[in-house]
Amino acid sequence: MKKIYLVLTHTGTLLSRIIKYYTKEEFTHVSISLDCELREMYSFGRLHPYNPFWGSFVHERIHKGTFKRFRNTRTEVYSLNVTEEQYEKMRKIIAYFNEYKEKYKFNFIGLACVSINKRIRRKNTFYCAEFVKHVLKSSGITEANNLPEIIKPLDFKIIDGLQLEYAGLLRKYKKKEFPNLEKVQELIQPKEIGYV
């Protein structure tokens, strides 16, 4: 068995406050990580910390980029046990997105429609929760089939087997376990593509 991590966050940015106002939910962003240190954490979000309207597939880091700029980002970090096969599939999917990231855009229209309970899908676009759901479903995580069509970050908490690992400020997150870092570095190698 392997562990993956779902990371719920609220940065307090203007956009995140607007989302929170409409959804009435505590967290406004979700990311997926394949290592407990969250060094390999991915989502769809802003590409530049100072520009909320330039978004796509992003490799997020606790102490860089948007999370560094917004130091009071609050988080809940959950772990989920997956099989070796599911883990490997996720790794390939993320590697594919990383290799072809220029093809993908942030689904701003889809995100805006969440507030009116409507789903809008556009080719090669995702917002954060759509991306994480796509990775889980495409990797064969059965529980992901029960997630709602109009997906929000907190909806992931219904997945059976989630375990809360940490709650608090993201910048203070520390995990005592250390993964095999060589395996982690293989995550974004472009040779691992073509998962579909």
For residue 180, the model assigns a pLDDT of 46
Strands 105-106 and 74-82: unpaired
For residue 162, the model assigns a pLDDT of 94
Whether the CB-CB separation of 79 and 4 falls below 8 Å is answered with yes
Whether the CB-CB separation of 148 and 93 falls below 8 Å is answered with no
For residue 137, the model assigns a pLDDT of 95
Amino acid at 92: K
pLDDT for 63 beyond 80: yes
- Which homologous superfamily is 2-188 in? endopeptidase domain like (from Nostoc punctiforme) (3.90.1720.10)
Strands 2-10 and 41-48: unpaired
User: What is the rounded average pLDDT of the residues 18-40?
Assistant: 86
Domain ranges of the chain: 2-188
* Backbone CA torsion sign across 88, 182, 164, 1: positive
Q: What region does 168 belong to: left with phi over 0, alpha with psi -120 to 50, or beta?
A: left
Q: What region does 12 belong to: left with phi over 0, alpha with psi -120 to 50, or beta?
A: left
What pLDDT, in 10s, does the model give residues 172-182?
998 654 444 44
What pLDDT, in 10s, does the model give residues 113-162?
887 788 888 899 999 999 999 999 999 998 888 899 999 999 999 999 99
What pLDDT, in 10s, does the model give residues 68-110?
999 999 999 999 999 999 999 999 999 999 999 999 999 988 8
More confident residue, 94 or 189: 94
Q: What region does 65 belong to: left with phi over 0, alpha with psi -120 to 50, or beta?
A: left
What whole-number distance in Å separates Cα of residue 44 and Cα of residue 61? 13
More confident residue, 119 or 17: 119
For residue 190, the model assigns a pLDDT of 46
* Backbone CA torsion sign across 131, 132, 135, 137: negative
For residue 30, what is the enclosing H or E element?
A: strand 29-33
For residue 178, the model assigns a pLDDT of 43
For residue 147, the model assigns a pLDDT of 94
Amino acid at 191: K
What whole-number distance in Å separates Cα of residue 125 and Cα of residue 123? 6
